[in-house]
């Protein structure tokens, strides 16, 4: 039997949103999946972007191609 119940951790204890309909002394396997808050998602994305930008700064891509001056790029005939 599988059931899903939401809950909240309060002072280190798990408080379920609704009681479980199981007989006393039932053995259960508990698997916790922590929901990520919007703030935590933003922080994770920010850290990822910071890491990516740092990699770009440390290892720039040099194409080996020609480098034109502004005048050459906008040459008028």
CA dist., res. 77 & res. 4, Å (int): 73
Indicate the SS3 state at residue 58: helix
pLDDT at 2 over 70: yes
Q: Kindly state whether residue 23 falls inside one of the protein's structural domains.
A: no
State which residues form the domain around 51: 35-59
- Residue 56, pLDDT score: 93
What pTM did the predictor assign?
Answer: 0.44
Q: Kindly state whether residue 65 falls inside one of the protein's structural domains.
A: no
Q: Work out how many domains the chain is built from and give that number.
A: 1
Q: Kindly state whether residue 43 falls inside one of the protein's structural domains.
A: yes
Average the pLDDT over 3-11 and give the result. Answer: 91
Chain Cα centroid distance, residue 53: 17
Q: Kindly state whether residue 71 falls inside one of the protein's structural domains.
A: no
User: What does the pLDDT look like over 12-61, one tens digit per residue?
Assistant: 999 999 999 899 999 999 898 888 899 999 999 999 999 999 999 999 88
Contact 18, 5 (CB under 8 A): yes
- Residue 70, pLDDT score: 87
Indicate the SS3 state at residue 14: strand
- Residue 71, pLDDT score: 85
Q: Kindly state whether residue 28 falls inside one of the protein's structural domains.
A: no
């Amino acid at each position: 039997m599988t059931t899903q119940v939401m809950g909240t951790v309060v002072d280190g204890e798990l408080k379920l949103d609704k009681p479980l309909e199981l007989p006393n002394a039932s053995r259960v396997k508990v698997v916790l999946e922590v929901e990520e808050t919007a703030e935590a998602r933003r922080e994770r994305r920010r850290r990822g972007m910071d890491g990516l930008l740092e990699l770009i700064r440390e290892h720039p891509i040099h194409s080996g191609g020609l480098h034109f001056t502004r005048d050459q790029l906008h040459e008028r005939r």
